[in-house]
Amino acid sequence: MKLDPEVKICFQKVLDALLTELQKRKKTSDTNKIERKCAAINHAIISAVRRRSFLSNIQIGIELTLHRLYESKHLTDILAAMGVSISYNEISLDRNSVINAGSPKISDEAFIQNMFGKVDVNVGTLDGLNAFHAMGGIQCIAPGTAYP
């Protein structure tokens, strides 16, 4: 079923107005928090309506986090039935595709640059313990012909 672009715009405006009105009733000044909640509700509605054609990055993130923490298929399926996250089968497909993807083939002439960053967070204010240190990196690959 294809929707007319005008209908899509109208639906989007109505949904945004509804969510804005619901959030106005709360006495909070954190607009970023409100926008995150509205995005989560929007993704839940869209994924409920278009289950097979829309994968929400918010719902994938929720499921990946819960799967790493609890590894519970039952919890995953309950949350998926409520529209909060994706199903256990979908997360299994995602994990298998990541595993089977393998490492990329890189030409010997390619220009490779590795960039790393470090973060130090004082979590003592959060949990009364020591600081948290983390390091992350990304590898950028460009064709050898792109640089002299």
pLDDT per residue rounded down to tens, the chain (148 residues): 566 777 777 777 887 788 777 777 666 667 777 778 878 888 888 887 777 777 788 888 888 888 888 888 898 888 888 888 888 888 888 777 777 777 778 888 888 888 888 876 665 555 556 666 677 888 888 887 766 5
- pLDDT at position 107, please? 82
- pLDDT at position 140, please? 87
For the chain, the domain total comes to: 2
| Global confidence as pTM | 0.53
What is the per-residue burial (b if ≥16 Cβ within 10 Å, else e) of 56-89? bebbbebbeebbeeeeeeebbeebbeebbbbbbe
Q: Is residue 33 part of a domain?
A: yes
- pLDDT at position 42, please? 80
The answer to whether the beta carbons of residues 139 and 114 sit under 8 Å apart is yes
CA torsion angle for 74, 75, 78, 80 (degrees, to 10)?
-110
Q: Which two tokens stand for residue 58?
A: 């918010």
DSSP state of 114: E
Q: Is residue 37 part of a domain?
A: yes
Same domain, 63 and 123: no
Cα 95 to Cα 13: distance, rounded to the nearest angstrom = 36
Cα 117 to Cα 138: distance, rounded to the nearest angstrom = 9
Same domain, 48 and 96: yes
Q: Is residue 105 part of a domain?
A: no
Same domain, 19 and 90: yes
- pLDDT at position 145, please? 72
Q: Is residue 48 part of a domain?
A: yes
Domain boundaries, position 120? 112-145
Q: Is residue 106 part of a domain?
A: no
Same domain, 21 and 53: yes
